[in-house]
Amino acid sequence: MTRPISKSASDSLDRLRAEVERRNPAEPEFHQAAREVLQTLAPVLEARPEYAEPGLVERLVEPERQIIFRVPWQDDKGRVHVNRGFRVEFNSALGPYKGGLRFHPSVNLGIIKFLGFEQIFKNALTGLGIGGGKGGSDFDPQGRSDAEVMRFCQSFMTELYRHIGEYTDIPAGDIGVGAREIGYLFGQYRRITNRWEGGVLTGKSAGWGGSLIRPEATGYGNVLFAEAMLRARGEDLEGQTAVVSGSGNVAIHTIGKLAALGANPVTCSDSSGYVVDEKGIDVELLRQVKEVERGRVSDYAERRGGSARFVPGGRVWEVPADVALPSATQNELNAADAAALIRNGVKAVSEGANMPATPEAVDLFQEAGVAFGPGKAANAGGVAVSALEMTQNASRTSWKAERVEAELARIMADIYATCAETAERYGAPGDYVTGANIAGFERVADAMLAQGVI
């Protein structure tokens, strides 16, 4: 049964949303993330009025710490460049701040705040005792030599090191930050601190403190969440056609896991356009093109042969599919894309990236009865295995891949069950957005209440 929601609770959240937008001007992505959470919290504030008393929600939307710094570095020709670095330590009620670093020209404070805010709830849903944070820079590693990337990472860490530590804040990778960048960052941290502190960064290579299955975890976890949504409707992934956006780490492992579970993933994409491959994406060829050669998806199509065609500048969502897994970046799937997917009979959409579907697209999916898995739940596998990497580092051990993958499957099953149960409890059965937001909020809110007004 749906609980009646008082006008006072809704009005209070509306006022807070307006205040968030006033105090954080020109940060549309952060406004969007905050709005999506706040508009689902009225029922829980009605049921748990103690959450409204100590300014808890007001504290939740204000980062505990925002750090902005200059990052000067030299290119291979000796020219000096200056980028801007960020770390937003958003909430540590459940544990040390945890969240990735993104190196991309689009990075600004608003994007880092949106990512950090989402991370609070995502990390809470894992049940692993980690708080929410995010960071990065407007540096673009594309087209840069290894030596240039190293010099940038060393300069970036020369400032960042003073703000992080395995009991304080543990960065990881994100867009533009893979094992290469994590290695350079860790090396500089070790040089400055004179400590081999394995738990200070996750996403390390497996040979020196990284966890097996960490590169695969976000993509694998998202596919597991999608399958859980389908099973709730009496189906599974076997024989389903899937469209995947992106061609980075998340997309590649999403494609691989879909194929392993019997689905047919037929697309990948990058900023130049998309590929549709009727036989299913050859994940090993895609990995060679994107991860080894750092090429374009058009190179994949050219080498794949007659089954694949490249569509320059197109929208991957034009391709008919049963399941869609947006795995590139925020707001990549808009209302027109959602309408196209719905017309073509999509059954489930599961977010592998952070907030890849616009609010209008999410509304259309939910109105059409499409199962929709929000990123803060569906793509939590990556940070979950990062936390498992921290556990391995703390005990100086390395788990076998089978153990890590079993733990990932268990965590994703728990996240799905938590979202489904919470949505049911608050009168919104099948609404995984509401379930994820409220479940994450309750876990963080209880810890904040216990720790006092800080």
DSSP string, 367-418: HTT-EEE-HHHHTTHHHHHHHHHHHHHHTT----HHHHHHHHHHHHHHHHHH
Q: Identify whether residues 255 and 348 lie together within a single domain.
A: yes
In a domain, 442, yes or no: no
In a domain, 2, yes or no: no
Quote the pLDDT of residue 93: 98
Quote the pLDDT of residue 1: 34
Quote the pLDDT of residue 4: 46
Contact 264, 280 (CB under 8 A): yes
Task: Summarize the confidence of residues 152-156 as an average pLDDT.
Answer: 98
Pairing of strands 80-91, 273-277: unpaired
For tokens 């006092």, what's the residue? 452
Pairing of strands 267-270, 323-325: unpaired
Q: Identify whether residues 324 and 287 lie together within a single domain.
A: yes
Asked if residue 294 has pLDDT above 50, the reply is yes
Q: Identify whether residues 105 and 31 lie together within a single domain.
A: no
Q: Identify whether residues 309 and 243 lie together within a single domain.
A: yes
In a domain, 412, yes or no: no
Query: Rounded CA gap, 375 and 150, in Å?
Result: 31
In a domain, 328, yes or no: yes
Q: Identify whether residues 188 and 265 lie together within a single domain.
A: no
Q: Identify whether residues 319 and 254 lie together within a single domain.
A: yes
pTM: 0.96
CATH number at residue 323: 3.40.50.720
In a domain, 395, yes or no: no
Residue ending a domain, choose from 342, 373, 404: 373
Q: Identify whether residues 234 and 177 lie together within a single domain.
A: no
Contact 310, 335 (CB under 8 A): no
Active centre residues (catalytic): 134
Structurally, the chain folds into a number of domains equal to 3
On average, the pLDDT of the chain sits at 96
Q: Identify whether residues 231 and 368 lie together within a single domain.
A: yes
Q: Which residues contact 329 (CB under 8 A, 6 or more apart)?
A: 175, 246, 353, 354, 356
3 DSSP assignment:
P
For residues 338-364, one letter each, b for 16 or more C-beta atoms within 10 angstroms of the residue's C-beta and e for the rest, the string is bbbbbebebbbbbbbbbbbbbeebbeb
| Helix or strand holding residue 249 (H, E) | helix 249-260
Asked if residue 454 has pLDDT above 80, the reply is yes
Torsion of CA 406, 440, 172, 414, to 10 degrees: 0
Asked if residue 117 has pLDDT above 80, the reply is yes
Quote the pLDDT of residue 6: 58
What does the pLDDT look like over 367-418, one tens digit per residue? Answer: 999 999 999 999 999 999 999 999 999 999 999 999 999 999 999 999 999 9
State the pLDDT confidence band at 2, using cuts at 50, 70 and 90: very low
Q: Is 275 helix (H, G, I), strand (E, B) or coil?
A: strand
Residue ending a domain, choose from 196, 226, 253: 196
Task: Summarize the confidence of residues 329-346 as an average pLDDT.
Answer: 98
Residue 150 structural domain: 65-196
Q: Identify whether residues 223 and 275 lie together within a single domain.
A: yes
Q: Identify whether residues 313 and 356 lie together within a single domain.
A: yes
Query: Rounded CA gap, 200 and 189, in Å?
Result: 9
For tokens 């820079």, what's the residue? 137
Q: Identify whether residues 226 and 280 lie together within a single domain.
A: yes
Quote the pLDDT of residue 8: 83
Neighbour count for residue 72 (Cβ, 10 Å): 12
Quote the pLDDT of residue 3: 46
Asked if residue 5 has pLDDT above 60, the reply is no
Asked if residue 353 has pLDDT above 60, the reply is yes
Quote the pLDDT of residue 182: 98
Q: Identify whether residues 112 and 232 lie together within a single domain.
A: no
Task: Classify the C-alpha dihedral 417-35-353-64 as positive or negative.
Answer: negative
CATH number at residue 73: 3.40.50.10860
In a domain, 378, yes or no: no
395: its two tokens:
């005990």
In a domain, 244, yes or no: yes
State the DSSP string of 276-313: EETT---HHHHHIIIIIS---HHHHHHHH-TTEEEEET
Torsion of CA 433, 438, 441, 447, to 10 degrees: -150
In a domain, 188, yes or no: yes
